[in-house]
Amino acid sequence: MSSLGSPCDSCLTLSSLQSQISNQYLQNYILNRLRDDFEIIITYNHSDIFIKTSSISSLISSITKSNTEITVNHLLIYLFYHSKLLFNHKYLINQFKLIHLGKNYPFQLINQSPTLESLKINQFPKLFLTINDDWEKFERSNFRYFNVESYLIRYENFKDKSTGNITYVDTIVRKLKRNNSTSSDQTIKSNDKFVKRKRMKIFKFFKRIVV
């Protein structure tokens, strides 16, 4: 079984073919290597790809301009971002699927993606990668227009800063629930007023009869 380094660790970042590597990406990579770091093993097509978490974090933080906990989505974004170099082919991100301890992890566009820490990746660092080559299945997909920068910035803007684990859609749903709750309260108050008015009319009607 052969092995491949990640784009940063294999010096592919020095290649003239790698126009995606920015100065900020490299600076973040150097800084992150000075912190706690461990290596993830991605097995694909009988080869192992070794990726340091600092490499993933560097890519994400160079776009979001903030430090964030690494998720499976981030790892998939990393593979997608460097797919031309790693696989000599530019795939769509939804063609990738990771398998860890027997569980499938596709890219989650709207649902919350688990963190690598929750997968206990430091204890079980190996993941298997599958790539669906059925292009006809994906060529009409909206993922053709997927943009890493736009997705990460949008996600960061809608993330709950207090917890860091609220997704874009979760935020929208939560806002809708709050609006619905407010509307419900207003409806209840309106109904209470309506009932009181009805009771007053009935009371006045019986009062006139009795008098």
Per-residue pLDDT tens digits for 9-31: 544 444 444 445 556 556 655 56
Q: How far apart are CA 88 and CA 134, in angstroms?
A: 17
3-state secondary structure 72-123: HHHHHHHHHHCHHHHHCCCCCHHHEEEEECCEEEECCCCCCCCECCCCCCCC
Residues 134, 188 within the same domain = no
Q: Which of the four pLDDT bands, split at 50, 70 and 90, describes residue 118?
A: very high
Q: Please tell me the predicted confidence (pLDDT) of residue 143.
A: 86
Instruction: Provide the residue range defining the domain that includes 66.
Output: 2-162
Phi, psi of 144 (to 5 degrees): -60, -25
Residues 101, 187 within the same domain = no
Q: Please tell me the predicted confidence (pLDDT) of residue 33.
A: 55
Residues 27, 117 within the same domain = yes
Residues 188, 104 within the same domain = no
Among 198, 174, 178, which Cα is nearest to 186's?
178
For residue 13, give the CATH number of its domain: 3.10.20.90
Residues 28, 44 within the same domain = yes
pTM comes to: 0.65
Between 182 and 153, name the one with better pLDDT. Answer: 153
Per-residue pLDDT tens digits for 142-169: 888 889 998 888 877 766 555 555 555 5
Domain count for the chain: 2
Q: How far apart are CA 144 and CA 94, in angstroms?
A: 9
